[in-house]
Structure 1
Amino acid sequence: MSRNFAPEHEGFRQQVATWLDDQLSGPFAPLRGLNNHVDAIPERRAWEAALGKARYGCIGWPEAWGGRDASIAEQVIFAEEYARAKAPSRIGHIGIELAGPTILLHGTEKQKKQFLPGIASGADIWCQGYSEPNAGSDLSNVRTTAWLKNGRWIINGQKVWTSMAQFSDWVFVICRADSGTRGASGLAYLLVPMDQPGVTIRPIRQMTGEAEFNEVFFDNAETAAENIVGQPGEGWKVAMATLAFERGVSTLGQQMHFRNDLDELVALAKANGAARSPLIRQRLAKAHVGLTVMRASALRMLANKDPQTPTSGAYTYKLYWANWRRSLGELAMDVQGLPGQVGEGEADFSALTKMHLMSRAETIYAGTNQIQRNIIAERSLGLPREARGAERG
């Protein structure tokens, strides 16, 4: 993979690889290969702090805010080496990749000073308050409300599928600040502390046996009046900026995790004899080709100088990787055979089986496949909007 980078980048690659190996062979050895988000939370908080201290937590951020001002190439190298070392999945990724960049772009100087150091140091974990029971892929339909009272925002409503909420210190919430509005108008983007009496969290147990996702209820929850990013009514604009950051350099790290899964699957197919099947070999080869195409597409996407103006590749990326991953999950079950359907205990399945189960959700969260196709059609190709709701009548 390094063949796509200039020779001067190899020193940085070696530096990163050495640091990761030292840490994951030493004080953080138990965390190597830990991919779920719900185990060993105190140890993972310590890992986030170690990354922050070494300025590896958010290397693309300005140095003034705890980063390294790393180039895109250096950010990609770090993401690749992080996955190659089988470092644990980041419990701080919502703050690092979404909340932080949004505050850097749209936040006030006071907000930057208040929130960015905690994210960069690993001290504060964030979650995302977007989806609601009646506003999943249709974010503009949110019904959570907020109004100002005595210098505080008072928040009421419900969010769902909130990853890592039970371990988070802060949440950014899209809510309706003007009760007389509909759709994308009248929304606000609030930064809300989780540790307060008005916030109730109910974990949602998944098929894997874990509970990464949660329902979050706001019952007169509060946050300071100045904890709004942008102005009241600008919540949609700020929310769209946050979503644009989802297609950043983390996509390359994600693909290295995919590579780890594929390598494990190939090794298993050779070990249990599944690779003797011409069809299995063909599907494994197709998965390899698909991952190679995915990487080329991501690199092309990252070459865009303005992440707030997505390219056609950015619009198609989520649809492509989610479908690829779903197919890999199905292949994993076929390679494992009956042993993949049996766990050691209650829902205690193999890593490949858990990958298959999680892949079923990946074509739904962050915009279903149908929504992704609508986005491609309307925003990239300029086609007419799909008829919605009463328009179909």
Structure 2
Amino acid sequence: MKLGFSAEDEAFRAECAGWLQAQMAGPFADIRGIPNLCDEIPRRKEWEQQLAAHRWSCIGWPEEWGGRNATLAQQVIFAEEYARAGAPNRINHIGVELAGPTILAFGTDEQKARYLPGIAGGTQIWCQGYSEPNAGSDLANVKTKARLDGGEWVVNGQKVWTSLAHYSDMIFVVARTEDGSVGPKGLSFLLMDMDQPGIEVRPIRQMNGEAEFNETFLTDARCASDAMLGAPGEGWKVAMALLAFERGVSTLGQQMQFRNELDAVIAAARANGKAADPVIRQRVAEAEIGLRLMRYGALRMLSNTDLSAIDGAALTYKIQWATWRRDLGELAMDVIGQAAELAEGDDYAWGALPNMYLFSRSDTIYGGTNQIQRNLIAERGLGMPREPRGSQ
């Protein structure tokens, strides 16, 4: 299977590739290829604004909201060229890829005018208030509550694993707005300002030394009554649509990053002679096959014109890539050997491949554990009976 591009698409590829490579070789060379999401935050914010200034920040959005109204093929091309150029992971990925498309789909004209310019302009960083201590993969078990007080929603609860919350300006929060409701009923989707007395962020240290995600406590935190996407009680519908956007075009850019990581493993194997080991060669071949299969699956997934719906390909993609990258991390450690156990420099920072190995352990947990993904595939994809659940 090969994705074909028109001459116009190839001209677009040359344009964006040329611009990205010039930026990564010039004014932003210092953040090219940096492995850790929390490194160089001020410079990454500058990078977001540079993308916005040249209308590369959210190319799939309508032009009136800062995008280029790019076709699906062009969005795929940009995602691939972005990773190929070694550009850093987007610090505002959640704003550009999740919050923005959801606001475009469900927001009122006033909400679009209020929130989209800051996202598109790289001046408003967003984080995601979904998971809770007892509502991770089981998102419908959310306990955070919101009540309407005059012209404001007052929110109380705790969120966890909120990536980059300590650098974010805004958060979207799934909260229970109907007393006595259980499961997906009675939930609402709120857009909240992080800079207020009722929100406290506590970073969580990970085993690779980063503190990329956090606990977020909401104590009488507030947002305006019109800062809700959809109607009260429609939060589950909005939240599920957002998860469908998460499995959109950015998956192809993610795979290009995987390509870079696999190439780095291969280069390490050639450098230290492990490439001569037949077992290592076989595992590299299996990784290559898995990566290509992911690409074909992602292209099939993107062929669905309704990106607000989760189809069978989308149901299987999370467990596919998470398991593949976990295995790649283990392969990297076996290739590098004992040298992978040594941190580098005065600050004891891990190299790119050891860091990838350590972080990849979380890939099978966040965004829905592998176990939960299997349930979703069985119940939603194959129509099997639902797993028995106790009363909530």
TM-score in terms of structure 1 length: 0.97
The percentage of aligned residue pairs carrying the same residue is 61
Q: Is the 8 A contact 2:204 2:213 kept in 1?
A: yes
3-state SS, counterpart of residue 386 of structure 2: coil
* Aligned counterpart, 2:374: 373
* Aligned counterpart, 1:40: 40
Distance 1:289 1:6 in 2: 27
**Range that drifts further, 5-14 or 204-213:** 5-14
Distance 2:281 2:5 in 1: 31
Residue deviations 1:201-253 (CA, integer Å, cap 9, x gap)? 00000011011000000011111111001111111111111111011000000
* Aligned counterpart, 1:382: 383
Root-mean-square deviation (Å): 1.4
Describe how 1:221-236 pairs up with structure 2 within 5 A. 221-236=221-236
Q: Is the 8 A contact 2:241 2:309 kept in 1?
A: no
Distance 2:391 2:149 in 1: 36
3-state SS, counterpart of residue 337 of structure 1: helix
Distance 2:348 2:137 in 1: 28
Q: Is the 8 A contact 1:80 1:256 kept in 2?
A: yes
Distance 2:168 2:28 in 1: 21
3-state SS, counterpart of residue 229 of structure 2: coil
3-state SS, counterpart of residue 197 of structure 2: coil
Residue deviations 1:360-381 (CA, integer Å, cap 9, x gap)? 1101110011111111111111
Q: Is the 8 A contact 1:124 1:168 kept in 2?
A: yes
* Aligned counterpart, 1:263: 263
Q: CA deviation at 1:3?
A: 6.3
**Range that drifts further, 18-27 or 319-328:** 18-27
Distance 1:40 1:341 in 2: 24
Q: Aligned pair 1:196/2:196, yes or no?
A: yes
**Range that drifts further, 30-39 or 354-363:** 30-39
Q: Is the 8 A contact 2:242 2:308 kept in 1?
A: no
* Aligned counterpart, 1:329: 329
3-state SS, counterpart of residue 178 of structure 2: coil
Q: CA deviation at 1:305?
A: 0.5
Residue type of the alignment partner of 1:39: D
Gaps of 5+ in 2: none
Describe how 1:237-256 pairs up with structure 2 within 5 A. 237-256=237-256
3-state SS, counterpart of residue 227 of structure 2: coil
Q: Is the 8 A contact 1:118 1:124 kept in 2?
A: yes
Distance 2:239 2:54 in 1: 30
Q: Is the 8 A contact 1:129 1:172 kept in 2?
A: yes
Q: CA deviation at 1:171?
A: 0.1
Q: 1:3 to 1:385 in 2, by over 3 A?
A: closer
Describe how 1:330-349 pairs up with structure 2 within 5 A. 330-344=330-344, 348-349=349-350
* Aligned counterpart, 1:353: 354
TM-score in terms of structure 2 length: 0.97
Gaps of 5+ in 1: none
Q: Aligned pair 1:5/2:8, yes or no?
A: no
3-state SS, counterpart of residue 172 of structure 1: strand
Residue deviations 1:171-219 (CA, integer Å, cap 9, x gap)? 0000111122111111110000001111100000001101100000001
Q: CA deviation at 1:68?
A: 0.5
Residue type of the alignment partner of 2:302: L
Q: CA deviation at 1:8?
A: 2.5
Q: Is the 8 A contact 1:189 1:234 kept in 2?
A: yes
3-state SS, counterpart of residue 355 of structure 2: helix
Q: Is the 8 A contact 1:209 1:347 kept in 2?
A: no
Distance 1:193 1:200 in 2: 12
Q: Is the 8 A contact 2:343 2:350 kept in 1?
A: yes
Residue type of the alignment partner of 2:373: Q
Distance 1:263 1:298 in 2: 20
Describe how 1:1-393 pairs up with structure 2 within 5 A. 4-344=4-344, 348-389=349-390
Distance 1:283 1:201 in 2: 41
Distance 1:354 1:171 in 2: 27
Q: CA deviation at 1:350?
A: 1.5
